[in-house]
Structure 1
Amino acid sequence: FILLYGPLPEELGWRGYALDGLQARYDALSSSLILGVVWSLWHFPLFFMKGQWQHDVLKFGTLNFWTFIFSPIFLSILFTWIYNNTNRSTLSAILFHFMCNLSGNFIPLTEQGRLYSLILIIILSMVVTLIFGPETLTYNRRECQMISAEKGILRRFFGKGIYPSQISFWLDFPLRRLILSPQKLADRLHLKENFNVLEIGPGPGYFSVEVARRIPHGHLELFDLQKEMLKKARCKIESAGLRNVGFIQGDAVDLPFDENEFDVVFLVAVLGEVSNKEGCLDSIYRVLKPSGLLSITEQPGDPDFLPLPVVRSLAEKQGFKFIESYGKKKNYTANFRKPDQRSKKKRNRYE
């Protein structure tokens, strides 16, 4: 009964039909989340039907209700992982669904137990995504690439090295807007329609689209050390229909641009990742126009976070003049201007 009532008919639709169609258009992670939301809403009416377990036991609006509603969304990631790694076997999804339902019948959970179960599902889905990658959730890459990615993730966890492209989807997480929205950052850059702008370390282009829209008669150059990050940013820019953006891979310590080329240069949660910060700022100084704006933003949760006094000290030593800051201690933007020419003291350093 447990097999026939839920797992068999549902999985023929969810994984047997819908998942392949979604993965033809989106990556595995996005497909999983979309299907998970639909799967969750599928059960929603049961909370209003007397005689159903959801109505009689879990009850609408309780903690049990919320854990039940959110569980399928994240559990869907594990289903996709199993499905994709078993050569798209619907049977594997049916059996996994069956085991989930069967264990729930043999081991009834308390309200608190269901909450812990949801937390565990979220953690497992995150681990699977980090290890296998959001694109396919499978071992379809070379082993050396996987090892490299895992090392990059570990380095990032301990605050060392650049942000790995394999987990760049976290940079697009919707709740990031609560920390700093692209619109608010663009406001802080004092952009004009014809400005020539350089973004160093754009990642997947979270802020890039909004900035490019603000300079329709200008140009935005995206500069990143990682080729994969630039690919993700390019997809986002092209999806937005923008044509005033360039993409260049390289090291920020040696920017391949002419002197006095840009009106604005900005970095978001990037400077702390650069090993030679002084060299990076000196390179920025060279390519920035006189009176041009350097904008450095630091955000909470970044293991390489730099406090405002440290950023000011670094920038001012390279000849920049601090003009303003926005935000709070752990979430701020610091703006600097390049003077018409460096101070005599600064010039003498290079004589």
Structure 2
Amino acid sequence: MNVSDKIKVVRQGFEESFSEKNFYEKQTTDDSHLELLINMLKVKAGSTVLDLGTGTGYIAFPLARRYSDSKIIGLDIVEETLKRNSKKVIEEKLDNLSFVSYDGYMFPFDNDSIDSIITRYALHHFPDIEQAFSDMYRILKPNGKLIISDPTPNRNDYCRFVDKFMKMKPDGHVRFYYLDEYKEMLEHVGFSFISNKTTSIRFPRKGASQYEDIISETNQDILSGYCIEVDGDEIWITESVLNMLFVK
């Protein structure tokens, strides 16, 4: 499957997920985590903030409401979801918020035009993450911030169980990365690592019976580390989350 086909899979998978709004929010909503990320941004008046992989605007809307004197842009490949977001923008009269769709390759912004980029639970779907990092560096202004929030594998997950688990849902999961992998890739294109705060997320997946094979073939120590639990038709997993700050 080429990169274009992978992007189509991601687009379709997330359009379907976002249409099931209640279950998706059950998976990802976390007020304390949202506040952590907003505090890491430290948005300045008059700045332009890009919410990369914005989805339903989980981060973009709170930013726009809180920082009315800054420009917030939500970027994603999910066109139908962005249309719904844009209707909500009009309803709430948020003149400082806009949503932009793109093809999943190059970001549609000029060089040195963005003050900060934030991306939450999105990068593990990027088929060419190193190219994406290069383009992030291109569009950020000097000293611009890049905040990445994404799950990371447990250290004892030698068989990459968590990636197999995530790929059971056809939404284009590629892989999770360790902190040192992020540092290597981002420092290679010119970013400087500033800090990281590790949190966690616990969420359900539907169709627990589909996971029986990978559960049965995985070491119990690995499963325990992710707190795997089946509850009826739902299977729950806990993942560590890296919340990293890099600067151009």
Question: Under a length normalisation based on structure 2, what TM-score does the superposition of the two structures give?
Answer: 0.65
Structure 1: gaps (5+ residues): 1-151, 339-351
Distance 1:325 1:291, change over 3 A: same
Cross-structure match for 1:313: 184
Cross-structure match for 2:17: 167
Q: Which has the higher contact order (CA 8 A, sep 6+)?
A: 2
Contact 1:321 1:337 in 2 (8 A): yes
Q: What is the alpha-carbon distance in structure 1 between the residues aligned to residue 54 and residue 83 of structure 2?
A: 11
Cross-structure match for 2:80: 228
Deviation at 1:188, TM superposition (A): 1.4
Q: What is the alpha-carbon distance in structure 1 between the residues aligned to residue 40 and residue 56 of structure 2?
A: 20
Deviations 1:292-322 (A, max 9, x none): 0011101478834333222222211211100
Q: What is the alpha-carbon distance in structure 2 between the residues aligned to residue 274 and residue 174 of structure 1?
A: 20
Q: Does 1:182 align with 2:48?
A: no
Cross-structure match for 1:283: 135
Contact 2:113 2:140 in 1 (8 A): yes
Q: Name the SS of the counterpart of 1:164 in structure 2.
A: helix
1:309 is matched by which residue type in structure 2?
A: D
Contact 1:194 1:216 in 2 (8 A): no
2:118 is matched by which residue type in structure 1?
A: F
Contact 1:172 1:206 in 2 (8 A): no
* Percent identical: 25
Q: Name the SS of the counterpart of 1:254 in structure 2.
A: coil
Q: 1:199 aligns with which of 29, 45, 51?
A: 51
Q: What is the alpha-carbon distance in structure 2 between the residues aligned to residue 292 and residue 260 of structure 1?
A: 9
Q: Does 1:264 align with 2:116?
A: yes
Distance 1:172 1:193, change over 3 A: farther
Q: What is the alpha-carbon distance in structure 2 between the residues aligned to residue 251 and residue 309 of structure 1?
A: 29
Deviation at 1:328, TM superposition (A): 3.4
Contact 2:51 2:59 in 1 (8 A): no
Equivalenced residue count is 181
Question: Under a length normalisation based on structure 1, what TM-score does the superposition of the two structures give?
Answer: 0.47
Q: Does 1:210 align with 2:62?
A: yes
4+ residue stretches of structure 1 with deviation over 6 A?
none
Distance 1:231 1:307, change over 3 A: farther
Q: What is the alpha-carbon distance in structure 2 between the residues aligned to residue 257 and residue 247 of structure 1?
A: 13
Cross-structure match for 1:273: 125
User: Hey, which of these two has a bigger chunk of strand by percent?
Assistant: 2
RMSD of aligned residue pairs (Cα, Å): 2.7
Cross-structure match for 1:336: 246
Deviation at 1:285, TM superposition (A): 0.7
Distance 1:199 1:219, change over 3 A: same
Q: Name the SS of the counterpart of 1:209 in structure 2.
A: helix
Contact 1:295 1:335 in 2 (8 A): yes
Deviation at 1:204, TM superposition (A): 0.7
Q: What is the alpha-carbon distance in structure 1 between the residues aligned to residue 90 and residue 78 of structure 2?
A: 19
User: Hey, which of these two has a bigger chunk of helix by percent?
Assistant: 1
Deviation at 1:260, TM superposition (A): 0.6
Cross-structure match for 1:254: 106
Contact 1:260 1:289 in 2 (8 A): yes
Deviation at 1:265, TM superposition (A): 0.7
Instruction: Summarize the alignment of residues 85-164 of structure 1 with structure 2, pairs less than 5 Å apart.
Output: 161=10, 163-164=13-14
Deviation at 1:193, TM superposition (A): 2.5
Structure 2: gaps (5+ residues): 153-161, 167-172, 201-239
Deviation at 1:196, TM superposition (A): 0.4
Contact 1:202 1:233 in 2 (8 A): no
Q: 1:326 aligns with which of 194, 197, 213?
A: 197
1:331 is matched by which residue type in structure 2?
A: V
